[in-house]
């Protein structure tokens, strides 16, 4: 068996602590080698055997490091990823890839020039419900799709004192949850023809976007992406309508909740979403309803494929080019909201 690749995690906030550290540790082809963080006490208590560095520059001087995972605030993604690539390391960046489309393009070009793997952690491709929707659409049971609606809602009526909600560059719900929804839709349907977006601040004292309603126009299909911080329930995660039937799915994938509880990835019931979706199929006697169990989700698949890709044994699970396309539509939606009109795929943004 090959020696595991040494991984340095940069940032031990919510994303680093909840997602990356446990998922990296669960991959036999990777070794969590060390962490760059200012939270020395917290880190030592959770991972006493790990190396620690206060700055990325110090970690990059270690020649044993193979892979750097960037889980810092969004405004640091570009500079940290650039530094790691220039130091000869393979790189994973948490979503969103960067703050701007131009930054994403620069990193993609740099990685290609240096012959290094650059990937973006779009983990929601491995949600149970998304995998189920993907399989359902591929089966053709719904026929020609006319409407696809995806919600990613939360109930957080109070503005929290954290960088994601303080109005800085890359903050707000659209840059937090929008990349997940855009990446999923691009995987399912490819590029749309145009986007119309409405972004708002609905909570008292909100400094960043906490509501979005984004419409993507395709030739024969309409996609709606919606997110809010003021929804306590009752809205399906997915609603898909075709000329042979419809599908709805309530509830979120369970993996994030299990990771927050400290459950080990791969343990009993891992990735199992117990709430089935519902198929509504027309029939002569009236619409027939059928429960559709979910395929199992598994975020570990991202890091397993990533390790294989670094060794030349598999494709990059999420390429920088794919993540750059997500950034393109993030920016087009923002521009659409600012202009109050539809923005096409061909329009040059300022």
User: Half-sphere exposure of 275 toward its Cβ, with a 13 Å CA cutoff?
Assistant: 11
Assess if residue 203 is contained within a domain.
yes
Of 103, 121, 139, the last residue of a domain is: 121
Assess if residue 314 is contained within a domain.
no
66 with 137, same domain? no
Q: Is the pLDDT of residue 286 over 80?
A: no
Domain CATH code at residue 132: 3.30.360.10
Reading the block at residue 2, the tokens are 């090959």
Q: Is the pLDDT of residue 284 over 80?
A: no
What single-letter DSSP state applies at residue 170? Answer: T
CB-CB neighbours of 275 under 10 Å:
16
150 with 191, same domain? yes
Reading the block at residue 231, the tokens are 């929804």
Pairing of strands 245-249, 238-242: antiparallel
Task: Quick: pLDDT tens for 26-54.
Answer: 999 999 999 999 988 899 999 999 999 99
**Mean pLDDT of all residues in 199-225:** 96
Instruction: Give residue 256's pLDDT band: very low, low, confident or very high (50, 70, 90).
Output: very high
Assess if residue 283 is contained within a domain.
yes
Question: Per this entry, what is the length of the chain?
Answer: 350
Domain CATH code at residue 105: 3.40.50.720
> Is the distance from CB of 221 to CB of 192 less than 8 angstroms?
no
Domain tally for the chain?
Answer: 2
**Alpha carbons 271 and 269: distance in angstroms, whole number:** 6
Q: Which residue has the tokens 């202009």?
A: 339
> Is the distance from CB of 79 to CB of 59 less than 8 angstroms?
no
CB-CB neighbours of 285 under 10 Å:
5
53 with 165, same domain? no
Q: Is the pLDDT of residue 127 over 90?
A: yes
Report the chain's mean pLDDT, rounded to a whole number: 96
152 with 272, same domain? yes
Instruction: Give residue 285's pLDDT band: very low, low, confident or very high (50, 70, 90).
Output: low
Q: Is the pLDDT of residue 168 over 90?
A: no
How much of the chain, in percent, has pLDDT values that exceed 70? 99
Higher pLDDT, 96 or 286: 96
Listed residue (223, 196, 174) closest to 338, CA to CA = 196
Of 121, 141, 165, the last residue of a domain is: 121
Reading the block at residue 23, the tokens are 């998922």
166 with 98, same domain? no
Sign of CA dihedral 89, 50, 317, 213: negative
Assess if residue 321 is contained within a domain.
no
Assess if residue 269 is contained within a domain.
yes
> Is the distance from CB of 162 to CB of 216 less than 8 angstroms?
no
> Is the distance from CB of 234 to CB of 251 less than 8 angstroms?
no
110 with 169, same domain? no
Q: Is the pLDDT of residue 163 over 80?
A: no
Instruction: Give residue 165's pLDDT band: very low, low, confident or very high (50, 70, 90).
Output: confident
153 with 74, same domain? no
> Is the distance from CB of 228 to CB of 181 less than 8 angstroms?
no
Residue ranges of the alpha helices (H) in the chain?
A: 14, 21-25, 40-46, 56-60, 77-86, 101-114, 128-139, 173-189, 255-260, 300-310, 320-339
Assess if residue 144 is contained within a domain.
yes
**Mean pLDDT of all residues in 2-25:** 96
Q: Which pLDDT score is estimated for 1?
A: 55
146 with 179, same domain? yes
> Is the distance from CB of 292 to CB of 132 less than 8 angstroms?
yes
Reading the block at residue 178, the tokens are 């929008």
Q: For residue 245, what are the contacts with CB-CB under 8 A and spacing of at least 6?
A: 141, 142, 143, 279, 280, 281, 282
147 with 81, same domain? no
Assess if residue 182 is contained within a domain.
yes
135 with 283, same domain? yes
Q: Is the pLDDT of residue 287 over 80?
A: no
Of 121, 143, 163, the last residue of a domain is: 121
111 with 140, same domain? no
Assess if residue 350 is contained within a domain.
no
Reading the block at residue 25, the tokens are 């540790």
244 with 334, same domain? yes
Q: What is the 3-state secondary structure (H, E, C) of 292-316?
A: ECCCCCCCHHHHHHHHHHHCCCCCC
Residue ranges making up the domain that contains 21? 5-121
Please state at what angle helix 173-189 crosses helix 320-339, rounded to 10 degrees.
Answer: 120
Task: Quick: pLDDT tens for 314-331.
Answer: 999 999 999 999 999 999
How much of the chain, in percent, has pLDDT values that exceed 90? 92
> Is the distance from CB of 26 to CB of 265 less than 8 angstroms?
yes
């Amino acid at each position: 068996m090959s020696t595991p690749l040494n991984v340095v995690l940069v940032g031990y906030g919510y994303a680093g602590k909840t997602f990356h550290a446990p998922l990296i540790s669960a991959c036999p082809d990777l070794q969590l080698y060390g962490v760059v963080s200012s939270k020395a006490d917290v880190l030592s208590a959770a991972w006493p055997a790990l190396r620690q560095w206060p700055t990325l520059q110090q970690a990059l001087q270690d020649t044993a490091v193979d892979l750097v995972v960037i889980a810092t605030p969004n405004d640091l993604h570009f500079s940290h990823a650039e530094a790691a690539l220039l130091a000869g390391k393979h790189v994973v960046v948490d979503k969103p890839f960067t703050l701007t489309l131009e930054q994403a393009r620069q990193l993609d070009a740099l990685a290609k020039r240096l012959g290094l793997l650059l990937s973006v952690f779009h983990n929601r491709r491995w949600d149970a419900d998304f995998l189920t929707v993907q399989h359902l659409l591929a089966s053709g049971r719904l026929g020609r799709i006319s409407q696809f609606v995806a919600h990613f809602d939360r109930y957080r009526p109070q503005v929290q004192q954290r960088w994601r909600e303080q109005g800085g560059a890359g903050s707000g719900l659209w840059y937090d949850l929008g990349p997940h929804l855009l990446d999923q839709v691009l995987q399912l349907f490819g590029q749309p023809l145009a986007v119309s977006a409405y972004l708002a601040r609905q909570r008292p004292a909100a400094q960043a976007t906490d509501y979005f309603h984004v419409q993507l126009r395709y030739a024969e299909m309409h996609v709606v992406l919606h997110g809010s911080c003021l929804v306590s329930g009752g809205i399906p995660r997915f609603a898909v309508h075709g000329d042979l039937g419809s599908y709805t799915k309530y509830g979120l994938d369970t993996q994030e909740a299990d990771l927050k509880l400290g459950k080990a990835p791969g343990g009993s019931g891992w990735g199992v979403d117990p709430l089935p979706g519902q198929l509504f199929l027309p029939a002569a006697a009236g619409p027939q309803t059928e429960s559709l169990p979910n395929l199992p989700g598994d975020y570990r698949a991202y890091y397993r494929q990533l390790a294989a890709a670094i060794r030349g044994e598999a494709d990059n699970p999420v390429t920088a080019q794919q993540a750059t396309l997500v950034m393109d539509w993030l920016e087009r939606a923002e521009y659409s909201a600012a202009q109050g009109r539809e923005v096409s795929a061909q329009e040059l943004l300022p």
